[in-house]
Amino acid sequence: MSRDNEDRGAARYTERPATVATDVGDGPAVVFAHGTLMDRTMFDPQLDALAGDYRCVAYDLRARTDRYADEYDLDDLADDYAALLDGLGIESAVLVGMSMGGFTALRAAEHHPDRVEAIVLVDSDAGTHSEADREQYGALIEQMKETGHPTESAVEVAKHQLFGETTRTEHPGLVEAWARKWDTYPGLAIHNEIASWLHRDDFTDRAADLDCPALVTHGTEDVSIAMEKAEATADALGADLARIPEAGHSSNLENPEATNEALREFLASVY
């Protein structure tokens, strides 16, 4: 069964009559928050696999909506999650966040503990970026802001940051399909999206204080966030770490079978 946000009264979240979520299935709620440059469709393999047992909601964060020009931070995105639940009539959910979505999930669990049953961090991190990374990303997004669109070189970099070597070699069509999407994004949308998390504070010490179950899944070929950071994040959360083989930073999309197996086991333990 599929639902439209407009029909479910999600105006508080969108503030506009646009549909920004895919809402399928019945049962305990599982909400999916995507990462930078991605959108809600990156979780289609998870919705297809889990909607028989759970109510699955994948939503677009601000950069993929007509709110992209507003400046915001991760706390704002955490509040958006709570407002999304209000709009959909959901009391609480397991929040699955990929990369930036994981940064958001940590803060949603801290700021809205009554709305978060558990969190799953997909290729994400409780830590932060080095000063060198911040300078590199900062220069890149300022260039996009000035040009109004992602440059060809930026798209090539994103392919390597977001997809592992196995996917780029064996499934180039998947990578190119996403690259075509990136080419349509306004430069300001990408600028504000990356700026929302680029200077985030280190959440590692606070992670131990979160009062909810957690799972960390991480692609073994992820070059955007090293496996060592996933290990540190899992330790801080007291969470299991599922290593997803033959997958990079978008491991749930690159190896959905392994990701879905880990999710099924975890969700069964939560619900």
- Residue 160 binned pLDDT confidence (cut-offs 50, 70, 90): very high
Q: Which of 26, 25, 36 is nearest to 61 (CA)?
A: 36
pLDDT on residue 59: 98
Is residue 190 within 8 A of residue 144, CB to CB? The reply is yes
Predicted pLDDT of residue 149: 74
Q: Report how far residue 85's alpha carbon sits from residue 108's, in angstroms, rounded to the nearest whole number.
A: 12
d(C-alpha 61, C-alpha 58), whole Å: 10
Alpha-helical runs (H) found in 56-186 = 74-88, 100-111, 131-147, 152-162, 165-170, 172-182
Give residue 153's pLDDT.
84
Q: Check pLDDT > 70 for residue 130.
A: yes
pLDDT 10s digits, 23-38: 999 999 999 999 999 9
pLDDT at 187 over 60: yes
β 29-33/21-24 pair status: unpaired
- Whether 129 has a pLDDT exceeding 60, the answer reads yes
* Cα 91 to chain centroid, rounded: 21
- Domains along the chain? 2-129+201-270 (3.40.50.1820)
Taking the alpha carbons at both ends of the chain, their separation in whole angstroms is 21
* Rounded (5°) CA angle 37-104-250: 40
Stretch 205-221: mean pLDDT = 97
Tell me which DSSP letter residue 202 carries: P
What band does 139 get if pLDDT is binned at 50, 70 and 90? confident
